[in-house]
């Protein structure tokens, strides 16, 4: 597998709004900016609330505070509650998110759709972008896609923005949420195409990859043209061995903390004290916060973490954690559409070797894969330009060359 290819540097002005926010999307360092108390939201008149399967609407309402912003006044937007599916056990769920279309007359066939997967923003119910007037820092990305002529669906992901438990690092669940956000968008606004693509970074990159894998069997009525995963969290099983060895990077400790927080909520028999020690125990609540006073102390708490603060106490505890992460790891099945992966050779969140190995397994399962590794980039500074151009080519029906060996 050829891992290193030159990356294009020029960024067309029309996509600057997306690229400029890549670091926030990938690292989840947006501040919480929740909308204040407001009257009961106004329902979207065009929304179809019939049905009860995945992607059907529980509600679709206007976002009054967002609609008063400069950007919000120029588009159609809604906060949606919609039905989806747990990737863990197939149980029905209800997920929140936001959906958008440009104003004006749609093109023939309707506005093509990008289901956008945001990066890590937290692991509690209040950490959903749909609860924030700024979409927790995602507004510029949404605006960039709208300016390109796409309708946009953005899932909060299960357990973020609405009641439930967020399974952080479970890409399949997030991928199903992204697919159902497309269905929810099409039930909220008219003039929307059935042609769609998934794109995201970090946690959202893994979700976009998973959405690609699941699309053919989960949503055959939709026409998926491709998916782009930037610095994707595809397989983080290696965190266990690094925790044992005491070689977690300063960025990987907080990632593992979020995973453990989610797993303990999903599996109450999991003993957190088998995995957290020292500063991880002292600052657990601070490290888990995405809002309130605690969120302002997260940076200092993270700096207090030591190399052994997440070391499993026993080999048996390590095996339990490894099994959970392996069950969530990608790939899980053959791709439904072409996949583009971009990642950095100096990524301190997701080891590049893990991404390369996941790509190789995806190729072995079958599918069309393109990828680029920038040896000088880390996690949040990977260039999105080529991925956006690649996505545009898929919507235009241009041929794609399979780079799998």
Whole-prediction pTM: 0.92
Domain ranges of the chain: 13-234+331-395, 238-326
The topology (CATH level 3) of 13-234+331-395 is Rossmann fold (3.40.50)
pLDDT at res. 4:
34
Is-cis flag, bond preceding 331, omega within 30?
A: yes
Sign of CA dihedral 102, 226, 390, 352: positive
Helix (H, G, I), strand (E, B) or coil at 228: strand
> Is the pLDDT score of 260 beyond 50?
yes
Locate all alpha helices (DSSP H) within 28-155, ordered by sequence. Answer: 64-67, 139-147
**pLDDT tens sequence across 179-235:** 999 999 999 999 999 999 999 999 999 999 999 999 999 999 999 999 999 999 999
**pLDDT tens sequence across 66-82:** 999 999 999 999 999 99
Closest CA to 202 of 88, 3, 347, 98: 347
Closest CA to 205 of 229, 228, 181: 229
């Amino acid at each position: 597998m050829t891992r290193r290819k030159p990356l294009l540097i020029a960024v067309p002005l029309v996509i600057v709004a997306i690229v400029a926010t890549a670091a926030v999307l990938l690292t989840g360092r947006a501040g919480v900016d929740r909308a204040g108390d407001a009257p009961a939201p106004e329902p979207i008149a065009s929304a179809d609330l019939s049905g009860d399967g995945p992607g059907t609407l529980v509600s679709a309402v206007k976002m009054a505070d967002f609609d008063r912003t400069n950007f919000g006044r120029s588009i159609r937007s809604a906060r949606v509650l919609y039905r989806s599916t747990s990737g863990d056990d197939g149980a029905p769920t209800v997920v929140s998110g936001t959906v958008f279309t440009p104003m004006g007359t749609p093109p023939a066939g309707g506005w093509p759709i990008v289901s956008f997967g945001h990066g890590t923003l937290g692991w509690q119910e209040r950490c959903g972008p749909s609860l924030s007037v700024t979409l927790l820092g995602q507004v510029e990305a949404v605006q960039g896609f709208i300016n390109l002529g796409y309708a946009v669906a953005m899932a909060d992901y299960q357990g973020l923005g609405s009641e439930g438990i967020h399974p952080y690092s479970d890409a399949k669940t997030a991928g199903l949420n992204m697919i159902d956000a497309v269905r929810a968008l099409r039930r909220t606004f008219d003039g929307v195409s059935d042609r769609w693509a998934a794109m995201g970074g970090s946690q959202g990159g893994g979700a976009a990859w998973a959405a690609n894998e699941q699309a053919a069997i989960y949503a055959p009525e939709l026409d998926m043209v491709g998916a782009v995963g930037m610095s994707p969290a595809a397989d983080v099983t290696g965190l266990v061995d690094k925790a044992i060895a005491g070689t977690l990077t300063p960025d990987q400790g907080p990632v593992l903390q979020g995973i453990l927080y989610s797993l303990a909520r999903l599996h109450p028999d999991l003993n957190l004290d088998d995995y957290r020690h020292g500063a991880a125990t002292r600052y657990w609540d601070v490290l888990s916060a995405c809002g309130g006073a605690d969120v302002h102390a997260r940076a200092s708490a993270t700096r207090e973490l030591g190399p052994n603060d997440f070391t499993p106490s026993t080999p048996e505890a390590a095996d339990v954690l490894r099994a959970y992460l392996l069950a969530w790891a990608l790939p899980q099945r053959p791709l439904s559409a072409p996949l583009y992966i971009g990642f950095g050779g100096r990524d301190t969140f997701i080891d590049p070797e893990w991404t390369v190995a996941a790509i190789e397994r995806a190729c072995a399962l079958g599918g069309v894969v393109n990828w680029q590794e920038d040896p000088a980039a880390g996690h949040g500074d990977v260039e999105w330009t080529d991925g956006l151009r690649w996505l545009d080519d898929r919507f235009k029906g241009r041929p794609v060359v399979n780079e799998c060996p």
